[in-house]
Amino acid sequence: MRYPFIIVLLFACNTIFAQGEVTTENKALIRNEHTFAFLINNNGWGMGYTYGKMVTIRKKNLWNVEWVKFKDPKEYKQYHPQYPEFRRFVFGKQNEFYNFRFSYGNLFTFFQKKDKGGIEVRCFYHVGIDAGIVKPIYYITQVMPTQIVEKINKNSLPDNIYGGAPFYKGFNEIKVIPGITSKFGASFEFSNRDLVINAIEGGIGIDVFPKVIEIMANEHNHFYFASIFLSYRFGRIVNPRGVSSKSNKKEVKND
């Protein structure tokens, strides 16, 4: 996962010093933003929403909500060779684990974009709380004479599993586990339109819980999840007041 991030970083730094097409578009000085993101990391994937409120030309306050599905690195989906019509399953997986993050942070702009085709380099951090969702997984462990679905344990054998039970099985056993989260990263905004945001982000994050999260039926589960992530963020500038022109300019406090 670290290699795509390094490639993006090198590409961004190279583009900063390259000459782009000078824009004639009036620029909004008040730059609050609504953005959405799709992300992948070394232990799962997710999506999120962020509202950024401008404080100074180079700083924004961020309010962030994310949903992430965590996976064990050893997960491998398979079919039972004699019953391919049943749902695929991950042998040894006890629970699905989803995490909702609610966080606050700041975004700082280091290099502002002056030309079309240029890249704006920004850095951000988030800190907040987690709401981890643990849902048990059920498997089809008997087909004849009647079908039986049940959980597995450390002593279960793959030959005794015929497929995965329906996803809704186990909803009545869902548990919510609170935690804390933090994230730090860099953002490279490359849109050629002033009021549109397109950015590639990368960084590191950690989620910590008060108890071990049992994803797999083994002793390798943890109470924390350290992540290296890469995401694509898109959105718009909102309330773009103070569009610069000869007749209309608003001053914005500078850092």
pLDDT of residue 10: 46
- Is the separation of the CB atoms in 29 and 242 below 8 Å? yes
- Is the separation of the CB atoms in 152 and 160 below 8 Å? no
Asked whether residue 244 is domain-assigned, the answer is no
pLDDT in tens, 152-178: 887 787 878 899 999 999 999 999 999
Asked whether residue 243 is domain-assigned, the answer is no
Asked whether residue 245 is domain-assigned, the answer is no
Asked whether residue 75 is domain-assigned, the answer is yes
Asked whether residue 109 is domain-assigned, the answer is yes
Q: Which residues span the domain enclosing 159? A: 2-238
Asked whether residue 246 is domain-assigned, the answer is no
Mean pLDDT of 143-151: 88
Chain centroid, CA 206 distance in Å: 12
Give yes or no for residue 245 having a pLDDT over 60: no
Burial status of residue 155 (CB atoms within 10 A of its CB: 0-12, 13-18, 19 or more): exposed
The neighbouring-strand residues paired with 52 are 33, 62
pTM of the model: 0.80
Asked whether residue 250 is domain-assigned, the answer is no
Q: What are phi and psi of 74, to 5 degrees?
A: -95, 10
Asked whether residue 78 is domain-assigned, the answer is yes
Tell me the residue length of the chain.
255
Domain count for the chain, please give it.
1
23: domain CATH number is 2.40.160.20
- Tell me which H or E stretch contains 160: none
